Amino acid sequence: MTLETLPFAKALNAGLRKAMEDDSRVLMMGEDIGKLGGVFRITEHLQRDFGEQRVLDTPLAESGIVGTAIGLAMAGFRPVIEIQFDGFVFPAFDQITTQLAKLTNRHEGAVTMPIVIRIPYGGHIGAVEHHQESPEAYFAHTPGLRVVSPSTPNDAYWMIQEAIASNDPVIFMEPKSRYWQKGEVDVEQSAVPLHSSRVVRTGTDITLVGHGAMVTTLLQAAAIAEGEGTSCEVVDVRSLSPVDYGPILDSVRKTGRMVYAQEASGHASVGSEIAATVMERAFYALEAPVLRVSAYDSPFPPAKLEGTFLPDADRILEAVDRSMAY
């Protein structure tokens, strides 16, 4: 076992570097990802070390970037695209949902689309509109796309490599508020399957479920609840499409209660789908309704209001109290 302590952003950089070293067909594309290393420095020094033919600075044209990547994938390359901020993905939405997601099916499997689209998403960075959004549900709703979101540096390191190795298009949602969070990275472990959820804290009274940045918040809430006499089990979903329901359902059948928390708005969201599925598959094990904690169903507010708009440990604990009261 070889452990390194790395910030989330550095772990991503290391994972991208390893993928480029292992496969010469892997190349990077995006706005300012070359000499600058990206606005969050995720691709720092990769152009210096692998050259401008494999790490390409592109024009500000997201639709063109994705369209070019589709052509490169058809030619045998494995492109990795960086969308600079979550809200900037929408100019490429048609290319992603109408073309990229459907091409393999359209060609009856004869054409594969090994493309990764990296999207920094979520709030808590004090930015403006279009820079703190959580658009994961749009892509999870689209057949033909795989959607994942790591929550730890170790997962960031391994999941980006697994995503690049996939022959299907992967939307790789990066919780940007965790870019500076440090954690241990085991560079010699056997990779956990990309589309698997995982129990990250065991408990007996209630199951807390979430993805991305919210997993850290759930762990904070669980620690507080433990001091108040409530034992919380925490499950990190990791993969938003497909969802690995096994660990979630096993936990709910043990505890009888569940709260799902997310930074995205609640209506027609990933949390809505998972909550509904748990109600269907584990109904007789539930002692209380599945509850959801989310951002409000409104556009992202000015930065000074993000602390009110986004769920925190207190809002999660309020849901825990309501669930335990049944």
Catalytic residue numbers, as ranges: 131
Q: Which residues contact 325 (CB under 8 A, 6 or more apart)?
A: none
Write out the two tokens for 289: 């309704």
- Cβ atoms of 109 and 124 closer than 8 Å: no
Span 73-110, pLDDT tens digits:
999 999 999 999 999 999 999 999 999 999 999 999 99
Write out the two tokens for 267: 């209506």
Span 224-267, pLDDT tens digits:
999 999 999 999 999 999 999 999 999 999 999 999 999 999 99
Q: pLDDT class for 296, splitting at 50, 70, 90?
A: very high
Q: Identify which of 218, 216, 196 has the alpha carbon closest to the alpha carbon of residue 151.
A: 216
Whole-number pLDDT of residue 128: 78
What's the CA gap between 263 and 290, in Å, rounded? Answer: 17
Q: Which DSSP letter does residue 220 get?
A: H
- The CA–CA distances, whole Å, from 14 to 3, 8, 10, 17, 188 equal 13, 10, 6, 5, 13
Q: Which residue do the tokens 């409104």 mark?
A: 298
Domains in the chain, ordered, with CATH? 3-186 (3.40.50.970), 198-324 (3.40.50.920)
Q: pLDDT class for 192, splitting at 50, 70, 90?
A: confident
R_g of the chain, CA atoms, integer Å: 19
Q: pLDDT class for 191, splitting at 50, 70, 90?
A: confident
DSSP codes joined into one string, 19-45: HHHH-TTEEEEETT-SSS--TT-TTTT
Write out the two tokens for 194: 């990309």
pTM over 0.85: yes
Q: Which DSSP letter does residue 283 get?
A: G
Angle between helix 246-255 and helix 270-281 axes, rounded to 10 deg: 60
Span 144-174, pLDDT tens digits:
999 999 999 999 999 999 999 999 999 999 9
What's the CA gap between 91 and 62, in Å, rounded? Answer: 6
Whole-number pLDDT of residue 1: 64
pLDDT exceeds 70 at position 70:
yes
